[in-house]
Chains A and B, each alone.
Chain A
């Protein structure tokens, strides 16, 4: 059973030693893939048609579907964050699906999901301050009465932790289960029997957790910038 995060090489920066892990390398590979895809789309769409056909049609349909999703989850103000969440959506989706081609998905490391969860946390604060004003947003922590301030802060702080552990736990549990099945099976059976497991854990759970992460983040942001 091999599902630990392997260290690849040691880097020393300003006297601090840290390891470049498999997670970081896989994240770089996925980043290269996504950036390459973005550049490809940009050059393919150099001449925009007014009436979209073919490739442009597909891309526009994707963007419009995602904007509709953002609007339905977080209301009118959420459109400001649609770009960031489309990036996050694609990154998590490609990370989860990369388990299909034998990568260790970067989202099966709490480091990655914690970064995404805390990004949502800071975006929530920013959204509240931008769309409701600093004073009115900070005042919402003291509602209904000032005694509730610690509870409200705890509630706000528990969100990134639950968001990140949900994604991390789901992907890691699939990874561990599939690794266990591969270890238990004799060599001849390893090619056919695990296919349904890959379809469920990598394709279905991966896509579902991506949608759940984005939907929950967007509804937190929508709640932060909603006027009461």
Chain B
């Protein structure tokens, strides 16, 4: 097998694996949304403050998903290993 195509294929597969953490992120965000809906259903007058707190908490919970996305984008477009390989191969 051509070593360069192996490096490219491995980079794309690992980008896909890095994006798998979206599953856990989505479950966490769903739990936040469910809790916010419960709180609003119990006390409809607090809807405003619950909504703004929920949006900020969603943003914080999103962080790990965003890390996975950044890792995947780095692997695909700015991969240091490919540059190293090309440098070694000359």
Give the residues from 189 to 228 in chain A that come closer than 8 angstroms, CB to CB, to chain B: 208-209, 211-212, 215-216
| Interface size counted on chain B using CB atoms at 8 A | 12
Q: Which residues from chain A contact B73 at a C-beta distance below 8 Å?
A: 172, 176
| Inter-chain residue pair count (beta carbon < 8 A) | 36
Q: Are A169 and B70 in contact (CB under 8 A)?
A: yes
Q: If the complex has contacts A169-B69, A169-B70, are A162 and B56 also in contact, measured as CB distance less than 8 A?
A: no
Roughly how many angstroms separate A223 CA and B28 CA in the complex, as a whole number? 25
User: A19 vs B62: C-alpha distance in the bound complex, in angstroms?
Assistant: 33
Majority secondary structure of chain A interface residues (helix, strand, loop or mixed): helix
Q: Which of the residues B60, B66, B77 comes within 8 Å of A170, measured between beta carbons?
A: B66
B55 at the interface (CB under 8 A from A): yes
Q: Is A71 an interface residue (CB 8 A)?
A: no
Task: Please name all residues of chain A whose beta carbon is closer than 8 Å to the beta carbon of B60 when the two chains form the complex.
Answer: 212, 216
With A169-B70, A173-B69 known to touch, is A216 a contact of B56 (CB < 8 Å)?
A: yes
- Closest chain B residue to A1, Cβ basis: B77
Q: How many Å lie between the Cα of A212 and that of B52 in the bound state?
A: 10
Residues of A within 8 A of B55 (CB): 208, 211-212
Residues of B participating in the A interface, judged by any CB pair closer than 8 Å: 55-56, 59-60, 62-63, 66-67, 69-70, 73, 77
Other contacts beyond A165-B67, A176-B73, A208-B55: 18, CB < 8 A? A165-B63, A166-B62, A166-B63, A166-B66, A168-B70, A169-B66, A169-B67, A169-B69, A170-B66, A172-B73, A173-B69, A209-B59, A211-B56, A212-B55, A212-B56, A212-B59, A215-B56, A216-B59
